[in-house]
Structure 1
Amino acid sequence: MASTLVSPIQIAPRLDYSMLRKASVGFGLFFVFISPACPDPLALGVGAFTPWLILRLVGTPTMPAAIAYYLLSQWLQVFARAFLALVDGEPMANSIYGPWVADAYWYMLASTVTLAFACKVVLGGIKPPTEQNWSAHLYWRPVDVFIVYLGSNVITQFASLTFGGALFQFFDAIARFKIMAAFLLFTSVMSVSRGWPFLFAVLGIEILSGMTGLLGDFRGVFVFLGTAALAAQIRWTARTTGYAALATFALVILALFWTSVKVEYRDIATGGSESQAFQSSLSDRAGYMVGRILGVGDIDWGAASKALLERLAYVDITGLVINVDLASAEQGKMRQWGDAVSHVFQPRFLFPDKAALSDTEVFIRLTKADVLENMRGGTSISVGYMAENYVDLGFPGMLGGVFAVGLLVALVIRFFFSFDVPWMVRQGTALAFVYSICASGLEVSMPKILGSAFTFAVAYGLALKFAFPVGQRWLEARARKAADREATIRRVRSLFRGGGPL
């Protein structure tokens, strides 16, 4: 295994779980300091120190980097509710859904720690890679990995043609292959400091495609970049700090811009229809975005910031579920788990008459809320898997259900790490899987988590066993040819300088 994983002596600090844990202490202390100004000081203070506890649990040398994203992204959506209370100057218990929001905050905060326990149990003892296995990606040429990334985009486009069919989830998993390709490119470039134009090209492609898509998935590439930096354990310098600050600033600005334009953009993109099918051309969508960029001065950044924070804080919906009080109707019947399991083990290509599960219908049933506004542009809304576990099991029983979800996610990742492929390929596969269930944050439902877990295990198990070895041989052959060519050039140049027979 590479010395960065085993050596206690390092020339410069490296981005790893230990550094994240130290940073989380500073984060927690800052919010504890300002918590007296918050309407919910205890919620803010405890929430701010939860990342330290999470990282303390999972921060082993071989813990997959994707786990940091998985757990911290779940925590962030919960903690954002306490921060929103600070911005509003109003306790969570005084919000429109009353004291149930405060209950939901604590239940969901405890659930994030429960997920960390599950990851620790399953992934805490992963065997360290050999040095050759860990460093295999360092010998691949960035240009070749970039070619793989471009090819993966073709695969993604092909897979998207099957969306809505019987094999939707399988091809949706295949479409995530570009995440692994981007991750491998990022780790390679940041490790050897060569091939930066390819890295920036991927950033540009992903941002542009995300901004002209329907769901604004431009943020994904920042997740891939950050996770790759953690997996590669890059040296952390003053320059790195500057780059990280710049990337964070760019992500926030893009998120605020998207928040301000997404409703109008989706109306244009879908022609006002209640579907996710594009009714306008790419040039029309891009033209609209360019026009809004040119008129960026007209954006109300304050309103966009508030709207983004409210969208991020996914606690009120769980509070709404608690408020409805379904104890006498559904608690104890395990309907949510039953629907999720039956949906997964009745594949549509074998059961074509299987009724579709609608997140929005489940939302209406569990909250009794009007979601007409949330359905604009074909988007849907879900109560999320934590609220679904509350409905089935109450509290603290829901922690058992959440622990089971965490075990399932961790077991799939452990399965990927059982393959004898380069360490960064395993890391990239784990990231592709985790992002598939985390891109929507806490909003993801249990059927989607269970479905993604099984389809990813099958699709990427086959890929790691049969397809990737072919790609690895191609990458290594290309690297050897390039190395031989460079060696030949050096020999010829030395002959010229030495006055040889040529």
Structure 2
Amino acid sequence: MNETLIHPYSGSSSFFKRLTPYIVLLGITLIIFSFLGARDFIAVPSIIVLFFICKWFATDNYPPVLMIAFAYQWLQVSIKPIYATFTMQSLKDVAEFPDHIIKSYLLSCLALLALGFGVYTMLKEIKIYPNRILHYLLSLDTKKTLITYLLFSVFATVLYGLRFKIPGLFQGIVALGYIKWTLFFFMFYSALKQNQYRSLLYIIILFEFISGFASYFADFKTIVFMVLISYLALYQIRHKQFFGLIIAFVIFGYIGVIWTSVKFDYREFISEDAGQQVVTVSDGEALSYLVDNVGNISDEQLALGFRAMIDRISYIDYFSSCMAYVPNVLPHEDGKLTKDAIMHVLVPRLFNPNKAAIDDSQHLTKYTGVFYADASMGVSFALGYVADFYIDFGPFWMLVALFFFGLFIGYIIRSIYRTSLNSFWGMAIMLPLFILLYKYENALIKFFGNLIVFWIVATLFNKYVCSKIDSYLKRQV
């Protein structure tokens, strides 16, 4: 591909310019609340990080995938400082591990800047060609994009059910399933741009949202993010749309509070107290139980659910606990975790069936000195890739390592684009990468491995499958 089309409208900095007033307004509001409360202005660094994330990635030259992925990681780092500011408390007052919470928060802010700048450095020369994408969109048959998405969704679901039966290909099967969202992007774009089959598109989105609750982890948020990213790629955001997005954010935030309030009872029901992360009841039974629970939820449960959701989203507490333990009790690993992540990819399970499974909770327990229930007990808690780099290299050199890791991520993205069939495919194949990039809690060994596997799968898909699907999707002249 000679050019890479990332965003389908002109003006490389217009998106960022439209967001800037809202970032400034949020910053001023937090400063006022901080002045009225603890007067520590602890949320100010998070506003600076948000500014640079938007400056680098909220542009019409980049897919909104990067902006939303980094913005969610920013939320995981910043939600407790912001919550503390609005409730006029100090960050230590709302922290589970307060001793190093400020240091872990500030270091996490720097970590996001280092990683983001690395990615931005690799992608900043990408250009856009809006006329070419419009021409390509008009060549698509909307009905065929819907059919292709539905067929691939069924295929991905069946294949996903076989992932444990073919352990050597587990990651590859999961990565191939992510291609579903590339086809979702085609369907979403074509239906709205050509104003055809919109009702069916909305039904599919609603089905994806509702069916997401039938899984153990209730993966309803994935479709929400995919719709948001696709919407931002299709429409220029003006003030009216921005306020609409804020309302949608509040609504889904409320849904998140409700889910947090009932999820533990729900998970016990769908697993029938098996102590495993499995679903042993039908989708109908699971959804019926969930509806009954939601209907009986109390105001007290909602209040507890809101605070629990803050704790669930935030991921600086575990890092704070880690900083209290490393290097005071355990020394820094001097690159061991990074080496293990690389070796885990170089020796796949297909060639080493005895390779140990990754248990995030055991990793967290080892490097915090605090016991956490593990996968054998039906739960999992992760430390996160930033803390892994800290364990390996300490507070300064971890930032250098994160910058180079960002360069590596950017190189993968650029490589996938360059193997894409055309500009639109280059943009669409980016959508699944959101699932790999948006979690601050990703363990380094999983983060690195999943990126490599998706890189391989996406490249093979672009080379051998993409052209066949593309030919099918075209209108018959």
Does structure 1 retain, via aligned residues, the 8 Å contact 2:30–2:86?
A: no
Matched residue, 1:284: 285
Q: Secondary structure at 2:429's aligned position in 1? A: helix
Q: CA deviation at 1:172?
A: 0.5
Does structure 1 retain, via aligned residues, the 8 Å contact 2:385–2:443?
A: yes
Matched residue, 1:486: none
Give, in whole Å, the separation in 1 of the partners of 2:39 and 2:441.
24
Q: CA deviation at 1:314?
A: 0.9
Find the partner of 2:444 among 443, 446, 450.
446
Give, in whole Å, the separation in 1 of the partners of 2:262 and 2:376.
14
The alpha-carbon distance between structure 1 residues 391 and 231, as it changes in their structure 2 partners (threshold 3 A), is: same
Give, in whole Å, the separation in 2 of the partners of 1:398 and 1:2.
31
* TM-score, with length taken from structure 2: 0.91
Q: CA deviation at 1:76?
A: 0.9
Q: Secondary structure at 1:43's aligned position in 2? A: coil
Matched residue, 1:337: 338
Q: Secondary structure at 2:294's aligned position in 1? A: helix
Does structure 2 retain, via aligned residues, the 8 Å contact 1:101–1:315?
A: yes
Does structure 2 retain, via aligned residues, the 8 Å contact 1:123–1:414?
A: yes
Matched residue, 1:73: 72
Structure 2: which amino acid aligns with 1:348? R
Matched residue, 1:148: 148
The alpha-carbon distance between structure 1 residues 426 and 170, as it changes in their structure 2 partners (threshold 3 A), is: same
Q: CA deviation at 1:50?
A: 2.1
Give, in whole Å, the separation in 2 of the partners of 1:86 and 1:349.
50
Does structure 1 retain, via aligned residues, the 8 Å contact 2:65–2:430?
A: yes
Q: CA deviation at 1:194?
A: 4.0
Q: CA deviation at 1:379?
A: 2.6
Does structure 2 retain, via aligned residues, the 8 Å contact 1:266–1:377?
A: no
Structure 2: which amino acid aligns with 1:368? G
Find the partner of 1:201 among 200, 203, 211.
203
Give, in whole Å, the separation in 1 of the partners of 2:375 and 2:303.
25
Q: CA deviation at 1:291?
A: 1.2
Q: CA deviation at 1:68?
A: 0.3
Taking the TM superposition and a 5 Å limit, the aligned residue runs for 1:93-108 are 93=92, 95-108=95-108
Q: Secondary structure at 2:432's aligned position in 1? A: helix
Give, in whole Å, the separation in 2 of the partners of 1:263 and 1:196.
36
Structure 1 runs of 4+ off > 4 angstroms? 1-4, 296-299, 374-377
Matched residue, 1:461: 459
Taking the TM superposition and a 5 Å limit, the aligned residue runs for 1:58-69 are 58-69=57-68
Q: CA deviation at 1:365?
A: 0.4
Does structure 1 retain, via aligned residues, the 8 Å contact 2:6–2:62?
A: no
Does structure 1 retain, via aligned residues, the 8 Å contact 2:122–2:411?
A: yes
Matched residue, 1:497: none
Give, in whole Å, the separation in 2 of the partners of 1:57 and 1:358.
34
Does structure 2 retain, via aligned residues, the 8 Å contact 1:137–1:422?
A: no
Matched residue, 2:315: 314
The alpha-carbon distance between structure 1 residues 419 and 3, as it changes in their structure 2 partners (threshold 3 A), is: closer
Matched residue, 1:249: 250
The alpha-carbon distance between structure 1 residues 379 and 148, as it changes in their structure 2 partners (threshold 3 A), is: farther
Partner deviation per Cα, 1:467-501 (whole Å, 9 max, x = no partner): 1111111111xx336xxxxxxxxxxxxxxxxxxxx
Does structure 2 retain, via aligned residues, the 8 Å contact 1:32–1:48?
A: no
Does structure 1 retain, via aligned residues, the 8 Å contact 2:30–2:85?
A: no
Q: CA deviation at 1:89?
A: 4.4
Q: Secondary structure at 1:395's aligned position in 2? A: helix
Does structure 1 retain, via aligned residues, the 8 Å contact 2:111–2:402?
A: yes
Does structure 2 retain, via aligned residues, the 8 Å contact 1:81–1:314?
A: no
Matched residue, 1:124: 124
Matched residue, 1:160: 160
Taking the TM superposition and a 5 Å limit, the aligned residue runs for 1:394-433 are 394-433=394-433
Find the partner of 2:476 among 474, 477, 480.
480
Matched residue, 1:494: none
Does structure 2 retain, via aligned residues, the 8 Å contact 1:78–1:109?
A: yes
Q: Greater RCO between the two (CA within 8 Å, min separation 6)?
A: 2
The alpha-carbon distance between structure 1 residues 88 and 320, as it changes in their structure 2 partners (threshold 3 A), is: farther
Percent of pairs with identical residues: 20
List alignment gaps of at least 5 residues for structure 2: none
Structure 2: which amino acid aligns with 1:408? F
Give, in whole Å, the separation in 2 of the partners of 1:304 and 1:2.
38
Q: Secondary structure at 1:364's aligned position in 2? A: helix
Q: CA deviation at 1:218?
A: 0.7
Partner deviation per Cα, 1:278-302 (whole Å, 9 max, x = no partner): 2222222122012123334567222
Find the partner of 2:223 among 221, 224, 228.
221
Give, in whole Å, the separation in 2 of the partners of 1:276 and 1:163.
15
